[in-house]
A and B are shown apart, each in its own frame.
Chain A
Amino acid sequence: MAATVPAIAPSNHAWDFSCNLDVNFESEEHALIVYTALAVDKELQPDRVKRVMSVSDNKLSVHFEAIEARLLRASFSAFVDVLTLATRTIQDFGQN
Chain B
Amino acid sequence: MKKKIAIGFEGSANKIGVGIVTLDGTILANPRHTYITPPGHGFLPRETAHHHLDHVLPLVKSALETSQITPEDIDCICYTKGPGMGAPLQVSAIVVRVLSQLWKKPIVAVNHCVAHIEMGRVVTGADDPVVLYVSGGNTQVIAYSEGRYRIFGETIDIAVGNCLDRFARVLKLSNDPSPGYNIEQLAKKGGNFIDLPYAVKGMDVSFSGILSYIETTAEEKLKNNECTPADLCYSLQETVFAMLVEITERAMAHCDKKDVLIVGGVGCNERLQEMMRTMCSERDGKLFATDDRYCIDNGAMIAYTGLLAFVNGIETPIQDSTFTQRFRTDEVHAVWREKEELGLDKNVATN
A41 close to B99 (CB less than 8 A): no
Of the listed stretches B24-32, B86-94, B139-147, name the one at the interface; the rest are far from the partner chain.
B86-94
A85, A92, A93, A94: which contacts B94 (Cβ < 8 A)? A85
Chain A interface size range: 20 to 34
B208 CB-CB contact with A under 8 Å: no
Asked if B57 is at the interface of the complex by the 8 Å CB criterion, the answer is yes
Given contacts A88-B57, A93-B71, contact A40 B99 (CB under 8 A): no
User: What's the least CB distance linking A44 to chain B, in Å?
Assistant: 8
Contact A81 B53 (CB under 8 A): yes
In the complex formed, the residue of B with least CB distance to A29 is B101
| Cβ contact within 8 Å between A36 and B322 | no
B101 lies within 8 A of A82 (CB): no
Does A37 have its Cβ within 8 Å of any Cβ on chain B?
Answer: yes
Question: Is B216 interfacial (CB 8 A cutoff)?
Answer: no
CA distance A34 to B97 in the complex (A): 9
Inter-chain pairs besides A37-B98, A86-B98, A94-B102, 20 sampled, C-beta below 8 Å: A33-B98, A33-B101, A34-B98, A36-B318, A37-B97, A40-B97, A40-B318, A40-B319, A40-B322, A82-B90, A82-B91, A82-B94, A85-B56, A86-B94, A86-B95, A86-B97, A89-B57, A89-B102, A93-B102, A93-B103
- Is B293 at the interface (CB under 8 A from chain A)? no
Whether the pair A93, B93 counts as a contact (CB closer than 8 A) is no
Within the complex, the shortest CB–CB distance from B316 to chain A, in Å, comes to: 11
User: Does A8 sit within 8 A of B, measured CB to CB?
Assistant: no
Q: Residue B321 at the A interface, CB < 8 A?
A: yes
Asked if A1 is at the interface of the complex by the 8 Å CB criterion, the answer is no
Size of chain B's interface in residues, with CB distance under 8 A?
26
Which residues of B are at the interface with A, using a C-beta cutoff of 8 A? 49-50, 53, 56-57, 60-61, 71, 87, 90-91, 93-95, 97-99, 101-103, 318-323
Pick from A37, A41, A78: contact of B101, CB under 8 Å: A37
Residues of A within 8 A of B97 (CB): 36-37, 40, 86
Q: Given A37-B94, A93-B99 in contact, is the A85-B53 Cβ separation under 8 Å?
A: yes
Residues 1-40 of chain A: 1 if any B CB is under 8 Å from the residue's CB, otherwise 0? Answer: 0000000000000000000000000000000011011111
Q: How far, in whole Å, are A89 and B61 apart by their CA atoms in the complex? A: 11
- What sequence of 0s and 1s flags, for each residue 75-86 of chain A, a beta carbon within 8 Å of any chain B beta carbon? 000100110111
